[in-house]
């Protein structure tokens, strides 16, 4: 190995000290900002320059809307059963268009989910309070002319607790999927009901055609559709069961009132890039400049997004190689991420294959694979066509710590962080030697 055990102490002490001094670090909170500033002070010991890049965002916009979904579902559920309004003295024949209103509400919720969570847009962000945070950027010059650029990143903020994940483990994902299916099913049923009533329902707007065969088809279709609707309406308990799943996902999957301590996710990653900064300050690459970046606001993916917006032209022109380091302080296998489907991001083969090669050179296994759930700051780079991947650990040990109260320094293994550090250093070496 290039490093010795003193690096393990340096990195573990960083994780422990940040946790003890600042505790959980919600995005854009004073704790996050002060932890970032302290990280910058540490990097000043090793980097040629360190800058704090401030930015504005609406951090609650990333997940804050999720709890709207339960109210959308309840409203859509009530609008679906306009037939029952005769109990209140209303004629349902005049209220059936409301079923499409319910479907539209659910569809709007899905559109917001797609734009905010998967597309990483800021569609509803202005509804939430604006706050300020920062990214810390440390730069290390090479021995000679800087012909290449490598960015090693990690995030300082800690995550909201996934309450269902803490209680149910992998079973929480089944609950989440059930909630999505329940909402989608209600939307589909509402659309079907609306179309059925519109075409051949209460006061059917279609007159008989001159062609008997077409009339027969309409009659048969109407009979089948009415039978289908007749089966759906009495099954109120199915929608109520679906509401339970939607409620669980919307209200309890993410607990925005409680944060994990974030020792492994992702102070372990920050510790690794601090270790890289120390080593590279004493062992400069020949022609590769290295930026050490501590991101804020990874929980809402806004910190890295602002960084890419600010530096995109330079990163693209210099063909920068970016590796974000995530959750490397536990015993799950090291993985070079090939894609992050949740964020619609495909990473650069040139980067993740170099990470695998770096692992082989150091005798540290690095697999490749797409992230099954969630994502990293690398998504904001790859979505813009920049060369990026993530180095992280994926497995049962990671899942046990991820967004749970167990993510504490006591469950972080400094030796595992050092393995990730060795891979990063060899990665920089391989980039430096590329023709």
Q: What are phi and psi of 368, to 5 degrees?
A: -115, 150
252: nearest Cα among 149, 179, 155, 315: 179
Residues 6+ apart with CB under 8 A from 361: 426, 430
* Residues 282 and 26: beta-carbon distance below 8 Å: no
User: What is the predicted pLDDT for the residue at 178?
Assistant: 75
Q: Are 251 and 67 in contact (CB under 8 A)?
A: yes
Residue 204: the pLDDT is 39
Ramachandran class of 254: left when φ > 0, alpha when ψ lies in -120 to 50, beta otherwise: beta
pTM for this entry: 0.85
Each residue's pLDDT expressed in tens, for the chain with a length of 435 residues: 789 999 999 999 999 999 999 999 999 999 999 999 999 999 999 999 999 999 999 998 888 887 787 788 788 877 877 666 666 666 666 676 777 888 888 888 888 888 888 888 998 999 999 999 999 999 999 999 999 999 999 999 998 887 776 666 666 677 777 777 777 777 777 777 777 666 655 433 344 556 677 666 765 665 665 555 555 554 555 666 667 766 666 656 666 678 899 999 999 999 999 999 999 999 999 999 999 999 999 988 999 999 999 999 999 999 999 999 999 999 999 999 999 999 999 999 999 999 999 999 999 999 999 998 889 999 999 999 999 999 999 998 998 898 889 999 999 999 999 999 999 999 999 999 987
Say if residues 381 and 308 touch (Cβ distance below 8 Å): yes
Distance set, CA 239 to CA 81, 108, 164, 225 (Å) = 11, 19, 21, 19
The pLDDT score that the predictor gives to residue 202 is 45
What pLDDT was estimated at residue 62?
85
**Could you tell me which of 38, 191, 161, 204 has the C-alpha nearest to residue 100?**
191
340 neighbors 371 (Cβ within 8 angstroms): yes
Contact indicator for 70, 247 with CB cutoff of 8 Å: yes
Fold designation for 5-58+131-162+256-433: Aminopeptidase (3.40.630)
Sorted by where each begins, the domain ranges of the chain are 5-58+131-162+256-433, 65-123+168-253
pLDDT for res 422: 98
């Amino acid at each position: 190995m290039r490093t010795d055990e003193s690096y393990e102490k340096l990195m573990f002490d960083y994780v422990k000290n940040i946790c003890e001094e600042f505790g959980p670090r919600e995005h854009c909170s004073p704790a996050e900002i002060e932890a970032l500033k302290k990280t910058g002070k540490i990097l000043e010991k090793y980097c040629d320059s360190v800058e704090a890049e401030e930015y504005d965002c609406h951090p609650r916009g990333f997940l804050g809307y999720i709890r709207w979904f339960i109210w959308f579902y309840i409203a859509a559920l009530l609008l679906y059963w306009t037939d029952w309004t005769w109990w209140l003295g209303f004629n349902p024949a005049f209220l059936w268009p409301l079923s499409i209103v319910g479907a539209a509400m659910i569809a709007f919720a899905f559109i917001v989910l797609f734009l905010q969570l998967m597309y990483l847009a800021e569609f509803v962000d202005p509804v939430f309070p604006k706050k300020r945070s920062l990214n810390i950027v440390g730069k290390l010059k090479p021995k000679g002319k800087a012909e290449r650029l490598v960015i090693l990143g990690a995030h300082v903020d800690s995550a909201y607790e996934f309450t269902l994940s803490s209680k149910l483990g992998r079973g929480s994902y089944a609950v989440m999927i059930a909630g999505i299916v329940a909402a989608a099913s209600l939307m589909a049923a509402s659309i079907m009901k609306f179309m059925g009533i519109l075409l051949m329902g209460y006061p059917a707007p279609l007159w008989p055609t001159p062609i008997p065969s077409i009339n027969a088809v309409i009659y048969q279709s109407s009979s089948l559709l009415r039978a289908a609707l007749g089966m759906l309406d009495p099954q109120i308990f199915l929608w109520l069961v679906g509401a339970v799943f939607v409620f669980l996902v919307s209200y309890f999957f993410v607990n925005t009132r409680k944060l994990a301590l974030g020792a492994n996710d992702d102070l372990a990653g920050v510790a690794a890039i601090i270790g890289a900064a120390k080593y590279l300050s004493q062992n400069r690459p020949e022609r590769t400049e290295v930026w050490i970046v501590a991101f804020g606001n990874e929980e809402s993916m806004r910190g890295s997004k602002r960084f890419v917006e600010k530096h995109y032209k330079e990163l693209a022109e210099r063909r920068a190689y970016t590796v974000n380091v995530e959750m490397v302080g536990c015993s799950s296998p090291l993985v070079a991420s090939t894609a992050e489907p949740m964020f619609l991001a495909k990473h650069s083969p040139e980067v993740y294959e170099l990470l695998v090669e770096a692992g082989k050179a150091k005798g540290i296994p690095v697999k490749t694979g797409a992230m099954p759930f969630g994502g990293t700051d690398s998504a904001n780079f790859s979505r813009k066509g920049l060369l990026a991947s993530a180095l992280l650990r994926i497995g049962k040990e990671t899942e046990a710590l991820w967004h749970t109260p167990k993510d504490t320094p006591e469950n972080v293994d400094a030796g595992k962080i050092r393995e990730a550090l060795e891979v990063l250093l060899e990665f920089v070496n391989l980039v430096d030697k590329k023709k």
